[in-house]
Every structure is written in C-alpha cells, then in structure tokens.
C-alpha cells in the first residue's frame, strides 16, 4: 500500500509542476494602426479551460489514496482515450507606418492515469485458480496544434508574431495485486499495459509588407512525453492449511 501511495504522489507532482509552468504563460496583443492603439492583456483561454478540465482528474487521483477498494474480478480493462486539438489562424491588416504585434500561445497538457488494485484471500486449495487475474490498462493520447499569423502592412511598418506551442503528455498505468493463498498455490496474473502518445505542431504565417518594413515571426515548439507502466505483485502464503 505504501508503494501505491508513493506512485500516485509521483504522478500528481508531475501534473502540478506542469500546470504551474503553464500558468506563467501570458501574452499581450498590441496593434498600432493609423494612430489607433488597442491592448489586450489576458491569460490564454486555453489554459483556463484546461485547468477547469483537469481539476476533477486531480481530485479523483488524490481520492484514490484515501479509498482504495479491493476488487475480486478475474478480468479488468481500463482504457483512457482522448485528444487535444488547437487551431489559431489570425489575419491582420495595417497601412503605412503600422506596428502589429500578434503573439500566439498554445499550451497543451494531457494527463491520463489508470490505477488498479486487486486482492484475493483464498483459504481453500481447490479454489486456487480464483487468485489468477487478467488485466488490461491502456492510455491513448493525441495533441494537434496549428498556429498561423497572416498579415498585410504598408511601407515602413513592423510586424511581429511570436508563436509558442508546448505539448506535455503524461500516461501512467499502475496495477497492484496482493494475494493471500495456501501453501502450494501459485497464482498467475496476465497484465497488459500500454501508452500511445502522438503530437503534431504547425506554426508560421504569410505576411505581405511594403518597402522598408520589418517582419519577425519567431516560432518556439516543444514536446514532452512521459510514459510509465508499473506492476506490483505480492503473494503471501497461509501455512498449515491442508493440501
């Protein structure tokens, strides 16, 4: 049980660390055109939506450390499948002497965790086969990010569109099996665990500018994937029972 608690705590630490880094992603959108100035300083709506989506998962994972109910099912299957798609296509227009700053930030965080706990207490040697289980745990994760800033400005203009795309996927499977059986009973468990993770990132843009204009469209992309499979099996024998 101590091993199980430490595994779940490890996954939660990874999740909170990634969330903390994403919360620091902010952007400012400034357009100066023909004497008109507009500013927008806000936290990316994608981040807020993602936090609202992930909080129930965090609470569920935490509750597992407090209320783990052993099961006696011979076959168990857990399959987590999901994808995260983001698409930001911007079009900007400016005349001569325009200054357009159009940042795009696309953070993607996907955490999937399967936790299975199985315990058998067998006192009758004739029922030894009941301690053997078949378990399948699978995580399927996908992320697609597309960012594009297109624009048209006149002479002596500045067009800047920094674009940042970050993808973090954490997939983990944890299965804990504890059997208490008579001497001579050797349970055999079949545990199938897997993680499938795929990411696609596309960024850039097409900007038309007049003479003596400057165009800067830097792109920063990063992908971080973590996949773990843990199978903890512990058997204990009851001495003195008849064979």
Give the span between the Cα atoms of 122 and 179, in whole angstroms.
8
Domain range holding 114?
2-238
Task: For CA atoms 24, 41, 203, 49, give the dihedral sign.
Answer: positive
Q: What is the pLDDT of residue 66?
A: 34
Contacts of 60 (CB under 8 A, 6+ apart): none
Q: Please list the pLDDT of the chain residue by residue as tens digits (243 residues).
A: 555 555 555 555 555 555 455 444 433 343 333 332 233 333 344 444 444 444 444 444 444 433 333 444 455 666 767 778 999 999 999 999 999 999 999 999 999 999 999 999 999 988 999 999 999 999 999 999 999 999 999 999 999 999 999 999 999 999 999 999 998 898 989 999 999 999 999 999 999 999 999 999 999 999 999 999 999 999 898 876 555
Backbone angles phi, psi at 50, to 5 degrees: -65, -40
The model's pTM: 0.66
First-residue to last-residue Cα distance in the chain: 30
In the chain, the number of structural domains is: 1
Task: For CA atoms 197, 140, 227, 110, give the dihedral sign.
Answer: positive
Bridge partners, residue 84, by sequence: 143
Is 209:148 a contact under the CB 8 Å cutoff?
no
Residue 145 belongs to some domain of the structure: yes
Residue 243 belongs to some domain of the structure: no
Is 57:115 a contact under the CB 8 Å cutoff?
no
Pairing assessment for the beta strands 99-101 and 26-33 based on DSSP bridges: antiparallel
């Amino acid at each position: 049980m101590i091993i199980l608690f430490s595994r779940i705590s490890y996954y939660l630490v990874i999740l909170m660390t990634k969330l903390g880094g994403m919360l620091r992603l902010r952007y400012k959108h400034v357009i100066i055109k023909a004497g008109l100035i507009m500013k927008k300083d806000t936290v990316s709506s994608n981040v807020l939506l993602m936090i609202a989506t992930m909080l129930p998962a965090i609470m569920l994972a935490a509750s597992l450390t407090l209320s783990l109910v052993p099961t006696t099912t011979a076959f168990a299957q857990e399959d987590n499948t999901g994808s995260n798609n983001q698409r930001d296509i911007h079009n900007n227009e400016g005349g001569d002497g325009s200054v357009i700053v159009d940042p795009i930030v696309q953070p993607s965080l996907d955490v999937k965790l399967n936790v299975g706990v199985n315990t058998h207490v067998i006192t009758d040697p004739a029922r030894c086969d009941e301690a053997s289980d078949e378990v399948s745990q699978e995580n399927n994760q996908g992320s697609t990010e597309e960012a594009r800033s297109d624009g048209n400005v006149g002479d002596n203009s500045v067009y800047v569109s920094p674009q940042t795309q970050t993808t973090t996927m954490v997939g983990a499977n944890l299965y804990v099996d504890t059997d208490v059986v008579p001497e001579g009973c050797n349970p055999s468990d079949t545990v199938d665990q897997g993680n499938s993770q795929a990411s696609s990132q596309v960024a850039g843009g097409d900007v038309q500018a007049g003479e003596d204009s400057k165009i800067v469209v830097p792109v920063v992309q990063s992908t971080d994937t973590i996949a773990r499979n843990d199978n903890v099996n512990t058997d204990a024998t009851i001495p003195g029972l008849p064979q």
